[in-house]
Copies of this chain bind each other. A is one copy, B any other.
Amino acid sequence: MARSIDLAVIPGDGIGPEVVAEGLKVLSAALPSDVKLATTEYDLGARRWHATGETLPDAELAQLRGHDAILLGAVGDPGVPSGVLERGLLLKLRFAFDHYVNLRPSRLFPNTATPLAGRPDIDFVVVREGTEGPYVGNGGSMRTGTPAEVATEVSLNTAYGVERVVRDAFERAAARPAKKLTLVHKNNVLVHAGHLWSRTVERVGAEYPGVTTDYLHVDAATIFLVTQPERFDVIVTDNLFGDILTDLAAAVTGGIGLAASGNINPTGAFPSMFEPVHGSAPDIAGTGKADPTATVLSAALLLRHLGHEAAAEKIEDAVTADLAERDGTPRSTAAIGDALAS
């Protein structure tokens, strides 16, 4: 556990800067007083792209690499064409820093809204692969814009890439009370990628006899997420299926206003990046209506990743307590941040 944290901060656009400010407020309040926190802001996102046309220059990528971790708010605005910041900034960071574990816990906190009747008991974590699958950017189009256009997207999957994330998921499952791992894929249709995943879970699973495993097709998994979410403990899945499942999981556990995520390189070779699952919500930017809780919970994941387990738990307990006290009276972004920090 380091006695200092050198943090890169990418506030981004829309509500990004607002929620990041509260995230940092809570993060520093939770840290033991002898841990020094240094932050460096990076001006990346839609504003930067509009001004300079740049998404993530190599020089800044190199600087970012020198930090212990990265906290990101949200990037994007309606004026940026779809794909520019996603491929040029967010995914570039995940790929460049080999963030192969995209960690997304889902928990239905007491006293939070869920669209599900009966308030099921939800507490699982999705381990989404972050560097392979259909996200590799290995597609193209020919005769673009003509009636003879052909467009492809290639999902690339390697034993190397699947095994390391499956192993990480087994470790997490082994450390949880329920000790259950569910692989989600679509191995009856995407047979090559799917069977690589299934075989890997079976093989690595032999080393974890205490962990129960099962398998669900992604379509069936969405059914269970709304009819029986309590059946899940740890889910391991590919990049695209993980994207879909975690938004749905966020929806059933109170919305993406609460959903945290970590883009993690468990080896420590590169800084890991933590960010709320939500976007920049330009419609409410500047109104003080954004809920910073997802960013605050992402900061807790960040602290846990850096070894500050006690501080991470402190934040999570504060969030649980704060949510339990909410009575529907709207509070500003800063008011929630202040409450959590105190």
Contact = CB atoms under 8 A, between A and B. Distances in A.
Interface of A: 82-83, 86-87, 91, 114-118, 134-135, 137, 139-141, 143, 145-160, 163, 186-196, 198-199, 218-220, 222-223, 226-227, 240, 243-244, 246-248, 250-252, 255-256
B244 A226 contact: no
Identify which of A137, A199, A251 gathers the most chain B CB atoms within 10 Å of its CB: A251
B248 A192 contact: no
A223 B250 contact: yes
A250 B222 CA distance: 10
Nearest to A198: B82
Given A152-B155, A187-B83, A192-B139, A223 B247 contact: yes
Contact of A188 (B82, B155, B250): B82
A154 B151 contact: no
Copies per assembly: 2
Contact of A190 (B139, B149, B194, B256): B139
Contacts of A147: 159-160, 163
Nearest to A224: B251
Contacts of A190: 134, 139, 153
15 contacts: A82-B187, A83-B188, A86-B189, A115-B117, A116-B116, A139-B190, A139-B191, A147-B160, A150-B156, A151-B195, A153-B190, A153-B192, A219-B248, A226-B251, A244-B244
B227 A196 contact: no
Contacts of A186: 240, 243
Contacts of A83: 187-189, 191, 194-195
Given A186-B240, A244-B244, A251-B222, A150 B157 contact: yes
B86 A223 contact: no
Contacts of A192: 139-141, 151-153
A196 B86 CA distance: 18
A192 B141 CA distance: 6
Contact of A248 (B149, B155, B226, B243): B226
